[in-house]
Amino acid sequence: MKYLVSTILSVLIVMVLLIIPQTGEAATETGGLRYTVTVTKFENRAGWSGQWDIGDAWGLIMTDILNQTGKFIVLGESDMRSAALDEQDLASSGRIPQGLTTAVTGQLTPAQILIKGAITHVQHNTAGGFGGISIGRISLGGGNSKSEVNVTMYMVDSTTGQVLASKSVIGKSNSGGGGIHYSGHGWSAGGGGFKNDNLGKAIESAVQQGTEWMIGQLPKIPWSGTVIMMRDDKVYINRGLREGVNIGQQFIVGHSEIIRDPGTGEVLEKILSEAARIQVSTAKEKLSICDVISGQSDSIDKGMEIQLP
């Protein structure tokens, strides 16, 4: 019997090692720089309905977990941003008193990446289960009811509307926290009526997988900023501590040229012509001050683009 148990455990370990995602050191390749993202409501194409809205639950969990990673500047979901715009419109209408705390226009932070997707399949509380074991990030546990959610995710460039990457993920959870479930880096969602629901746990599992996948895509997505001011041979850029910029970091500065398809107007490529190189000497929350280390300071103009070397 001991030999049989040992053999089964060995087989399970091999299976687990095969299905653990290999994220590698992808996030470090971006130099720790962060991207602004916002999560739009995921469409419920599975037709599932219950005591809570599955699309709202997904958006709430994903926004929470993305924020926990420290890899993104997470903006409010689309409904929150719409509410902010409504408040700004009301303030600018002159129908409410004006003061220091009154909402103003023109300061809403733009998203570089939109997170969109659809929930394509939901299986909730069906019979099943087996004995329990936990190895690394994968838990194989007992339980008599299982929930599963299938989701297709998209990372979309907010400027061009082009899909940067897509991924299908499957989240599973057994009653009582068992089943096959992915724990990732320990990120977990906040409260909500779905938190203790078996399907809610399956959604959290899928979000954890999707989040790790997103982090792995970052080195493939161009990171850029803009020169906002020149003063006393110092270069001011619109990226700071919030975006992960640190003292000593270097950037290329230059004019960017966009190559478009003459027939469709689609952006085919963006080429940066290097004018100089700069190094961060002071990093503040939303901007950084840089020294010119290569090239001439008088060759740098306001509005020029910055990129990683």
Q: What is the pLDDT, as a whole number, of residue 142? A: 45
Q: What is the pLDDT, as a whole number, of residue 174? A: 77
Dump pLDDT digits (tens) for 147-191.
Answer: 899 999 999 988 778 888 999 999 988 765 443 344 445 566 554
Q: What is the pLDDT, as a whole number, of residue 51? A: 76
288 vs 236: CA distance, rounded Å: 6
Q: What is the pLDDT, as a whole number, of residue 198? A: 80
Domain boundaries in the chain? 30-92+103-219, 224-307
Nearest Cα neighbor of 238 from 137, 120, 53, 109 is 109
Q: Which two tokens stand for residue 39?
A: 């999560």
CATH node for 224-307:
2.40.10.410
Enumerate residue ranges in the chain where pLDDT < 50. Answer: 5, 8-9, 11-30, 80-81, 84-85, 88, 90, 99-108, 127-143, 177-184, 191
23 vs 133: CA distance, rounded Å: 23
Q: What is the pLDDT, as a whole number, of residue 265? A: 72
Q: What is the pLDDT, as a whole number, of residue 259? A: 85
Q: Which residues of 95-105 are buried (b: 16+ CB within 10 A; e: fewer)?
A: eeeeeeeebee
Residue 211: CA count within 13 A, CB half-sphere: 32
Are 118 and 59 in contact, with CB atoms under 8 Å apart?
Answer: no
Are 41 and 3 in contact, with CB atoms under 8 Å apart?
Answer: no
CATH node for 30-92+103-219:
3.30.160.150
Residue 206, SS3? helix
Q: Which two tokens stand for residue 122?
A: 């939901």
Q: What is the pLDDT, as a whole number, of residue 141? A: 43
Q: What is the pLDDT, as a whole number, of residue 33? A: 83
